[in-house]
Chain A
């Protein structure tokens, strides 16, 4: 606060504003906050400026498609939407298997703007929604931190969250994903929860429940939230801080929140059945017991109370155990799901569920990426914790719990870095603000006229003024480097749409690979309306959204056997694959190939996952991962590679006619620029497929599945 006061008096001295210091402070707060909000919006626009206003990556294409459907067809049709374009021939009930918060939000923006005669395209609403919500997040973070500490900490935290890369990674313009609004919802819920805990009022608790409903409607990560709040309540109980305020707050939030969350059809009865939600339910029960005991204690003598307490504890404990056991046995309480296990034990998914492990954002986080995504915050985090511990109160316990749990989860899964980033900012805001307000006060010692007076007042240690000056300077320096780092990371790492690729040539000029859209538009224009396209599931959402063709599997990996079937087709030799493709009515096969351009995340590099997933079901038990390796255990596509690999469908589709292509000077034909090797099987013909289309840089290759031979053989 001291710093802001000083600054405002500086403004006043400049004569820009001759108003009371209170008003100046408000003005300054507003300025800082709005600057941070605008900054957070504009720093996310790199991708739009460099490429164009496009939707990024994979999942956002699905969200975009559903949003378009919602705006065109209305909510009821959206709610009842059965999509026969995906997961052929199973189909997918979209209305019941998504979190509709994101789509409803965009559709609302769209309709409001159109009501005001601002005819914005729905795509642009989708592209700019995440940056807009990040600005809102900035404001909520300010309020949350203000509730935890003070205005100064709030402003610092707000400024920090506006550019923290861990959050930007999921909220740049075009990255139209649930997380973009979910972080806002989550922080809003936390803010209102703190408010409810502090006031103990029904008003704030109800608002908290409403914010929780919004959160549930927009992201599956709400499970974290519904476990964190009970954990907070439990911690408060254990530390003897349980009070009527907490009782009112939690009881209201839990009951209203649970009933509301059950209105989302994807969530359904999970809040009362699945084990992930049982902690919240248990704590709700504990709250009632605790409150009841408190009431009894006030009415009974100590001895009577103790006897009663023991009796009650035993009866309730045994009853709860039996009920839990019976319900689990009857299957009413769902067993621990795989995704949850992988949170607790990072190696669980890798060993047991290949489909979860195959997603790169489900991998455990590397140490370096903590620094990459959070930089300074990593070091300020413990400092913030220290300041919280030093002045422990109800709300500080909450933020400590949030910090500690989320740092664990972020270590387990890369994508949960997103949950960690806000609390890092909040705690760092507290840290920076506390440190600065501690030392800026000491800066007075530098002022020689005042120094003499001060020395008499506080002789605790020498060169106090100089140390304060040094600390302030260092802090400023760190914050400046933080800004530079964040901007650099945003610009370099998180602003590529990945649907359009860019690379620099030898002479430094930029070359754009627009092969994905080229291929998808080719499919849209040149294939029959009801053609079925087989590709690996990564490209499913994009194909349905951009090519408008039926696909077998997509990024919503709900049916493992179906994906496994596609994996089997890809890893089988041509004739076996043909049987599977006929069974699934496949008319086109699409593969991604990077060998010509050096695009590394192509299907050959993903191929081992296809083999693993293909071999993970009963029908594919003949597919063994080991067959695709050399005897030395290497995955090679050159002459040394395993013959099974060199003759499987995926290999043939990727490298068809590639043997005659010269990719690099001084290298033989068929030189793969991703694997940096000359491919092993060059001269082969396709029997049951024919090449239909290959894009300019060979990144996408499309093949047509031939009919059965007319004369039988």
Chain B
């Protein structure tokens, strides 16, 4: 009968949903092997790079990254499928590629960045157009093909006479431990092209810059025109933290990450320079990796609390000159876990077009930053604004909109002390009129009786 058929359907449906559930669980378990944020696509120019840069990739693997190596011009290349991104990070070690394969192009990569993906790019003097275009998208202008950064005063002794193998002093690194790690003592080796930052882009970070004597030009030609970059404006390694906190690092040198450089000693070709057995490249690359793939410097605001002192919940609207308590819970990602963030310089602004209150927040042990303060004597729609923007950290921006209303008619003081003379005068007036009318009426009665 029909009823039986229905039963059958229901049973079958239950069965299939069980199967799907189990499948999903298995899938989830399978994925558990790779931690989130670690799936990385590596685009290579040729497969031999796997060998020439094996120290770098080995370092990554040992840290739990799941690396997927592809040729940059692989015709089946894709970083997204059905609107979902397949990877968390992207490494482009393909300096000379003119065009990516498959569905990958500059706009696909920028889209990847705009959806939170992190990108590490290394170029070289054989740079192809596609990387130059990508550079433009992240606020960097790469110099032409065949050019090198040249520095006649800061080159390594192993240089072959063109002064393109630079020994970059640690002083040329950005002052941010989160990005470049602990300042190394040895110089870094660098061979590649120079970049300049777009002056309109406020987000570009100058991670490693050339020294004052550096410039970027064709090493074999006479200088006939002004070089593309000169002195400290020459960027060797540049970074960008987008507004959605996606991170991009652009290096002008692919050799910077190579086994050869990692293992090389360094001696600056100037009299009296100290020789180091190992240059700082590996140390720097490792620190950069931490930063660009968000192992470090990731903070977020977990919760915001605010209420009047002595109360528990935020009111519908505050009243001017209320004493209030504000707290924000800030956490930092350390080793894949959120732990309380520690800093001394977190500020709170109470903001309405301009800040009306601007104070440092106090810190308690559990990552709670708090302050008690008095609201200004101004009504309007305000924002609690914590805008913690420090180089290396993700941009922490938290606003909470609250209304601040003026006093209600019952909240004003009932008697004003300076008005006591007026109270006295009005009551004495009332009293006087009473007396007067009494006397007046009484007097009238008497005369009437007399005249009568």
Contact = CB atoms under 8 A, between A and B. Distances in A.
Interface of A: 76, 79-80, 82, 84, 88-91, 93, 530, 550, 583-584, 707-713
A82 to B, nearest CB: 4
Contact of A82 (B138, B203, B246, B405): B405
B240 interface: yes
Contact of A584 (B203, B244, B317, B353): B353
Interface of A is mostly: loop
B114 A89 contact: no
A710 B114 contact: yes
Given A90-B380, A91-B381, A710 B401 contact: no
Given A91-B379, A91-B403, A711 B409 contact: no
A93 B379 contact: yes
Nearest to A82: B405
Given A82-B379, A710-B243, A711-B240, A89 B352 contact: yes
B381 A89 contact: yes
Contacts of B204: 712
A94 to B, nearest CB: 11
Contacts of A713: 139, 198, 200-201
A84 B406 CA distance: 11
B205 to A, nearest CB: 11
Given A90-B380, A710-B242, A712-B200, 18 more contacts: A79-B409, A82-B317, A82-B403, A84-B317, A89-B352, A89-B353, A89-B380, A91-B379, A91-B380, A93-B379, A583-B353, A707-B243, A708-B243, A711-B113, A711-B137, A711-B203, A711-B243, A712-B202
A710 B113 contact: yes
Contacts of A711: 110, 113-114, 137-139, 201, 203, 240, 242-243
Nearest to A81: B405
Contacts of B203: 711-712
B412 to A, nearest CB: 11
A711 B114 CA distance: 8
Nearest to A583: B353
Given A84-B317, A89-B352, A712 B380 contact: no
Contacts of B114: 710-711
A492 B406 CA distance: 46
Given A89-B352, A91-B403, A709 B381 contact: no
Interface centre among A91, A708, A709 (most CB of B within 10 A): A91
Nearest to B403: A84
Given A90-B380, A93-B379, A711-B240, A80 B200 contact: no
A84 B139 contact: no
Contacts of B138: 711
16 contacts: A82-B317, A82-B379, A82-B405, A84-B317, A84-B381, A89-B380, A91-B380, A91-B381, A93-B379, A550-B381, A708-B243, A710-B246, A711-B240, A712-B201, A712-B202, A713-B139
A142 B200 CA distance: 75
Interface in B312-371: 317, 352-353
A707 B242 CA distance: 13
Contacts of B405: 80, 82, 84, 91
A91 B381 CA distance: 6
A84 B202 CA distance: 34
Nearest to A95: B409
Interface residues of B, number: 30
B447 to A, nearest CB: 18
A88 B200 CA distance: 31
Given A90-B380, A93-B406, A710 B244 contact: yes
Given A82-B405, A84-B317, A712 B379 contact: no
B314 to A, nearest CB: 14
A93 B243 CA distance: 37
Contacts of A708: 243
A713 B110 CA distance: 12
A421 B79 CA distance: 76
A57 to B, nearest CB: 27
A708 B200 CA distance: 13
B93 interface: no
Interface string B394-424: 0000000101011011000000000000000
Nearest to B244: A710
5 closest cross-chain pairs (CB), A and B: A82-B405, A712-B203, A712-B201, A84-B403, A89-B381
Contacts of A89: 352-353, 380-382
Nearest to B198: A713
Interface string B93-131: 000000000000000001001100000000000000000
A264 to B, nearest CB: 13
A612 B58 CA distance: 68
Contact of A530 (B137, B352, B401, B409): B401
Given A84-B403, A584-B353, A709 B409 contact: no
A330 to B, nearest CB: 17
A712 B139 contact: yes
A712 B381 CA distance: 29
A713 B243 CA distance: 11
A713 B199 CA distance: 10
A712 to B, nearest CB: 4
A605 B280 CA distance: 67
A212 B139 CA distance: 70
Interface centre among B198, B246, B353 (most CB of A within 10 A): B353
A709 to B, nearest CB: 7
A674 B139 CA distance: 45
A80 B352 contact: no
A712 B403 contact: no
Nearest to B204: A712
